[in-house]
DNA sequence: TCAAATATGGAAAACGTTTTCCCCCAAATT
DNA sequence: AATTTGGGGGAAAACGTTTTCCATATTTGA
């Protein structure tokens, strides 16, 4: 690759001038010189070395994104939002999957420190257990989390408790009393909140909560299938199941089918997230919509604002919405 | 952030020694000195500046990935494969979406050049229309494409033609004669090949091909729904539909439902890719499996080999496999 | 005992930019 | 005529590493 030196030589100017042209700096450069340089740059197909630039300007125009798993459509959609916004702002996005493993989270944070990422967007799970003060202080100036976190970082959030409450209330309104919950991983704050909403709604409706009404999954359809199967094989089979995400809901619906139960005929099902396919699944899935794409763009915008010393709201909230579809179509006759 | 200079000062050694410790260079450094330096590094929570490192070593341990759209599970799975392998090898992954827009492809390639990415993995669509020789020459030493491409880059490939043939043969064997195809975007080489396989299989079975049997979608469920609807409303309704990917197959199944047709009762459906949800969809989807995750890991491995001057196979092939599920369960009675 | 080898460490150049000074010259002002 | 102004340009330091030489002290070998 050619360097500014090469360009300068060929255009018979100094490196300084080339730099001025590239960044069209306030220091004026003569029109004909500028054009000569520009032409040379084009001829040589010169591109400035971002490493050298970053080294000296202390800005890399790079943000790191840490998520549990890109093959989960929920995160994929968030990432899409982040990227689109990043593209607009001239930022590049480095993506890292953690599978919610603490050591990978830490490792990735260090990587972003080494690469001098201008910002870090963190979603899913909790960072804890390793926090040298220096790292944390430094991070707090450039990190945004999507969702809830123990440490008080700037955040983009959704009211998961409220969303879950909406879902359960909907089921109760349909006459359901035996409602089960398919929980997410222990480390997922979203799932913790959704469980909380589930409990709240039951309490509000005077329905007693029992531990056996909750099974844990890991947000995959497989785990939803497994959990669904266990729940549906209980002697007092639930009439409705609420899953902590759509993927598990799909798995549970499949389990119902394998057990000869139809949804919504024999069983109502509600998911969470509203991933793209939930309106195409058969039956179409009643679910709580999370504006994933917007979470992504909002987080990225926050990073940009932080980096440019703009003022910005430290917290931004999004409201979930209940989308009623076919999977909760049947009313239940009161017993 | 502290620098090697800071560490050196505190540990009472030279920068050189700190560097030697970090890279545990062959040039030996005394055990007690090493430990002192290590301790200081830990105390100061020092991390080497990757920009400075990259500037001088000419290796950034970064690969760029260019895909049409991360929210398509097909690409998400590929990316997951790339990332897992990249993680193992110590590489970071910068991800870019193109929506198959040429100008974005070009823009992203330039970005990767500026950031001095050690390698670029390209999937989906075709690069053409902008190719200064210098860029191309330089790229050919560090680019790997997943799929087919006009330019002869090292590649990881799948036999899409063969896969499509498998699918159609399966339908023909079930007695289907009126088979339609939902095509992908114009620029998708995969879809072009899948269409080719479709035509080949028809020809092999003496079934005439007509243009109206093919509708174009853009790989989303929405477009599959639309295409499916059009196909199913034709007077001589097809008995089977083959979609260029699973997402569109889901859409088409949904369209069938809206028209009062059941799958597989009234209509057989075959997809392509085998994304995670196709075995959970209702009905479960017969599809041609692409080992997406492995495509990703293979591509990344190829990049690593290229970067380290290892010998490597310039082309690597994967075989697709037909997975027969419920969406093609019913036999058709010959007319 | 002396030369040669080895172990350990440092100084300084280099990577490719941005940015701060500084300089020169022509035009404008006094 | 002398001074100021401002347009246009360059030299050199700085960013934080790696790497090449070189230096010194200690061991080893004969």
**Matching residue, tokens 């009472």:** B12
Buried b (16+ CB within 10 A) or exposed e, B183-203: bbbebbbbbbbbbebbbbbbe
Is-contact A125 A105, C-beta < 8 A? yes
d(CA A99, CA A205): 36
Question: Which CATH code is given to the segment(s) A4-48?
Answer: 1.10.260.40
d(CA B124, CA B66): 8
**Matching residue, tokens 């809901």:** A249
Nearest to A262 by CA among A272, A253, A252: A253
Chain B residues in contact with A1 (beta carbon < 8 A): 113, 116, 138
Neighbours of B249 (CB within 10 A): 31
Look at A110 and B47 and tell me if their CB atoms are within 8 Å. Answer: yes
User: Across the interface, which of A70, A221, A253 has its CB nearest the CB of B282?
Assistant: A253
Buried b (16+ CB within 10 A) or exposed e, B132-162: eeebbeebeebbbbbbebeeebbbbbbbbbb
Question: Which CATH code is given to the segment(s) B60-158+292-319?
Answer: 3.40.50.2300
Chain B residues in contact with A104 (beta carbon < 8 A): 87
Q: Provide, in whole angstroms, the distance separating residue A59's CA from nucleotide C25's C1'.
A: 37
Checking if the pLDDT of B286 tops 80, the result is yes
pLDDT given for residue A131 in this prediction? 66
What is the phi/psi pair of residue A18, to 5°? Answer: -60, -45
Taking CA atoms, B73 is separated from A70, A72, A189, in Å, by 9, 8, 24
Phi-psi region of A266 (alpha: psi -120 to 50; beta: other; left: phi over 0): alpha
Q: Provide, in whole angstroms, the distance separating residue A26's CA from nucleotide C21's C1'.
A: 16
Is-contact B173 B207, C-beta < 8 A? no
The tens digit of pLDDT for each residue in B168-206 reads: 999 999 999 999 999 999 989 999 999 999 999 999 999
Please list, in sequence order, all residues whose beta carbon lies within 8 angstroms of the beta carbon of residue B159, skipping any fewer than 6 positions away. B317, B318, B319, B320
Taking CA atoms, B321 is separated from B27, B90, B158, B297, B298, in Å, by 52, 32, 10, 19, 18
Closest-approach residue (CA) in chain B for A137: B1
Look at B277 and A276 and tell me if their CB atoms are within 8 Å. Answer: no
Q: Which two tokens stand for residue B292?
A: 């997406």
The tens digit of pLDDT for each residue in A175-226 reads: 999 999 999 999 899 999 999 999 999 999 999 999 999 999 999 999 999 9
Chain B residues in contact with A54 (beta carbon < 8 A): 51
What is the phi/psi pair of residue B112, to 5°? Answer: -65, -30
Sign of CA dihedral B198, B202, B208, B213: negative
The CATH H-level (homologous superfamily) assignment of domain B160-291+322-328 is Response regulator (3.40.50.2300)
Probe site for chain A from B48, B61, B76, B257 (most A CB atoms < 10 A): B76
Strand D contacts (CB < 7 A) among A residues 53-72? 55-56
d(CA B245, CA B188): 12
What is the phi/psi pair of residue A64, to 5°? Answer: -95, 140
DSSP codes of every residue in B281-330: SSSPPEEEE--HHHHHHHHHHHHHHHHTT----SEEEE--EEE--GGG-S
The whole-chain average pLDDT of chain B stands at: 94
A1 touches strand D (CB under 7 A): no
Sign of CA dihedral A50, A51, A54, A60: positive
Probe site for chain B from A142, A280, A325 (most B CB atoms < 10 A): A280
Listed by start position, the domains of chain B span 4-48, 60-158+292-319, 160-291+322-328
d(CA A49, CA B246): 42
Sign of CA dihedral B9, B15, B19, B24: negative
Sign of CA dihedral B252, B190, B128, A82: positive
The tens digit of pLDDT for each residue in A275-289 reads: 999 999 999 999 999
pLDDT given for residue B168 in this prediction? 97
pLDDT given for residue B331 in this prediction? 61
Neighbours of B29 (CB within 10 A): 17
Chain A residues in contact with B135 (beta carbon < 8 A): 45
B60-158+292-319 and B160-291+322-328, same CATH topology: yes
Probe site for chain A from B48, B62, B70, B80 (most A CB atoms < 10 A): B70
Confidence of residue B133 (pLDDT cuts 50, 70, 90): low
Domain at A160-290+322-328, CATH class:
alpha beta
pLDDT given for residue A312 in this prediction? 85
Confidence of residue A335 (pLDDT cuts 50, 70, 90): very low
Neighbours of A77 (CB within 10 A): 24
DSSP state of A284: P
Closest-approach residue (CA) in chain B for A109: B47
pLDDT given for residue B112 in this prediction? 96
Checking if the pLDDT of A138 tops 90, the result is no
Distance from CA of B51 to the nearest CA of A (A): 5
Distance from CA of B240 to the nearest CA of A (A): 19
Checking if the pLDDT of A333 tops 80, the result is no
Adjacent-strand bridge partners of A64: A94, A120
Look at A280 and B49 and tell me if their CB atoms are within 8 Å. Answer: no
pLDDT given for residue B335 in this prediction? 38
Look at A79 and B94 and tell me if their CB atoms are within 8 Å. Answer: no
Taking CA atoms, A87 is separated from A60, A301, A324, in Å, by 14, 11, 34
Q: Are strands A240-243 and A214-216 parallel, antiparallel or unpaired?
A: unpaired
B61 touches strand D (CB under 7 A): no
Opening angle at CA B112, ends B111 and B115, nearest 5: 90
Look at B76 and A80 and tell me if their CB atoms are within 8 Å. Answer: no
Closest-approach residue (CA) in chain A for B57: A51
Look at A51 and B225 and tell me if their CB atoms are within 8 Å. Answer: no
The tens digit of pLDDT for each residue in B28-81 reads: 999 999 999 999 999 999 999 999 999 999 999 999 999 999 999 999 999 999
Probe site for chain B from A3, A67, A76, A106 (most B CB atoms < 10 A): A76
What is chain A's Cα-based Rg?
26
* Residues B225-240, mean pLDDT to the nearest whole number: 96
Confidence of residue A334 (pLDDT cuts 50, 70, 90): very low
Look at B48 and A114 and tell me if their CB atoms are within 8 Å. Answer: yes
* Residues A68-84, mean pLDDT to the nearest whole number: 98
d(CA A235, CA A48): 69
Please list, in sequence order, all residues whose beta carbon lies within 8 angstroms of the beta carbon of residue A328, skipping any fewer than 6 positions away. A170, A171, A174, A240, A264, A268, A269, A270, A286
Chain D footprint positions (protein CB, under 7 Å): 7-12, 14-21
Please list, in sequence order, all residues whose beta carbon lies within 8 angstroms of the beta carbon of residue B229, skipping any fewer than 6 positions away. B255, B258, B259
* Residues A258-268, mean pLDDT to the nearest whole number: 94
DSSP codes of every residue in A134-153: HHHHHHHTTEEEES--SS--
Q: Provide, in whole angstroms, the distance separating residue B110's CA from nucleotide C16's C1'.
A: 17
Q: Which two tokens stand for residue B135?
A: 């860029």
Taking CA atoms, A282 is separated from A195, A262, A264, A271, B271, in Å, by 26, 11, 10, 13, 16
Please list, in sequence order, all residues whose beta carbon lies within 8 angstroms of the beta carbon of residue B161, skipping any fewer than 6 positions away. B193, B194, B196, B197, B200
Is-contact B247 B75, C-beta < 8 A? no
Question: What's the burial of A299, exposed, middle or buried (CB within 10 Å: 0-12/13-18/19+)?
Answer: buried
Checking if the pLDDT of B130 tops 70, the result is no
**What length is written for chain B?**
335
Chain C footprint positions (protein CB, under 7 Å): 7-12, 14-21
Look at B138 and A1 and tell me if their CB atoms are within 8 Å. Answer: yes
Look at B73 and A76 and tell me if their CB atoms are within 8 Å. Answer: yes
User: Across the interface, which of B55, B80, B115 has its CB nearest the CB of A92?
Assistant: B115
Distance from CA of B75 to the nearest CA of A (A): 9
DSSP codes of every residue in B64-121: EEEES-TTSHHHHHHHHHHHHHHHHHT-EEEEEE-TT-HHHHHHHHHHHHHTT-SEEE
pLDDT given for residue B161 in this prediction? 97
The tens digit of pLDDT for each residue in B211-227 reads: 999 999 999 999 999 99
What is the phi/psi pair of residue B271, to 5°? Answer: -110, -165
Adjacent-strand bridge partners of A93: A63, B95
Name the closest nucleotide to B50, judged by C1' and CA.
Answer: D17
Name the closest nucleotide to B15, judged by C1' and CA.
Answer: C10
Q: Provide, in whole angstroms, the distance separating residue B328's CA from nucleotide D28's C1'.
A: 82
């Amino acid at each position: 690759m050619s360097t500014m030196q090469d360009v300068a030589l060929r255009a018979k100017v100094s490196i300084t001038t080339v730099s001025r042209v590239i960044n069209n700096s306030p220091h004026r450069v003569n029109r004909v010189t500028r054009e000569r340089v520009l032409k040379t740059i084009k001829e040589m197909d010169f591109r400035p070395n971002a490493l050298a630039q970053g080294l000296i300007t202390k800005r890399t125009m790079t943000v790191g994104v840490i998520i549990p798993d890109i093959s989960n459509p929920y995160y994929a959609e968030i990432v899409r939002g982040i990227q689109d916004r990043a593209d607009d702002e001239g930022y590049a996005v480095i993506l890292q999957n953690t599978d919610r493993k603490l050591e990978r989270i830490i490792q990735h944070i260090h990587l972003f420190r080494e690469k001098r990422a201008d910002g870090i967007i963190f979603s899913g799970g909790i960072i804890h257990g390793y926090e040298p003060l220096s790292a944390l202080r430094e991070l707090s100036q450039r990190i945004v989390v999507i969702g809830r976190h123990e440490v008080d970082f700037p955040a983009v959030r959704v009211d998961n408790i409220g969303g879950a409450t909406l879902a359960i209330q909907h089921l109760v309104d349909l006459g359901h009393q035996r409602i089960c919950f398919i929980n997410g991983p222990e480390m997922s704050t979203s799932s913790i909140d959704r469980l909380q909403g589930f409990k709240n709604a039951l309490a509000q409706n005077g329905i007693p909560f029992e531990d056996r009404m909750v099974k844990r999954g890991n947000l995959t359809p497989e785990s939803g299938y497994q959990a669904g199967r266990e729940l549906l094989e209980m002697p007092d089979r639930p009439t409705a199941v609420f899953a902590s995400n759509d993927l598990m809901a799909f798995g549970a619906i499949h389990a119902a089918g394998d057990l000869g139960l139809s949804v919504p005929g024999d069983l109502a099902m509600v998911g969470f997230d509203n991933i793209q396919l939930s309106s195409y699944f058969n039956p179409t899935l009643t679910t709580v919509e999370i504006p994933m794409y917007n979470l992504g763009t909002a987080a990225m915008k926050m990073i940009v604002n932080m980096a440019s010393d703009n003022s910005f709201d430290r917290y931004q909230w999004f409201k979930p919405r209940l989308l009623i579809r076919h999977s909760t179509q049947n009313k239940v006759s009161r017993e």
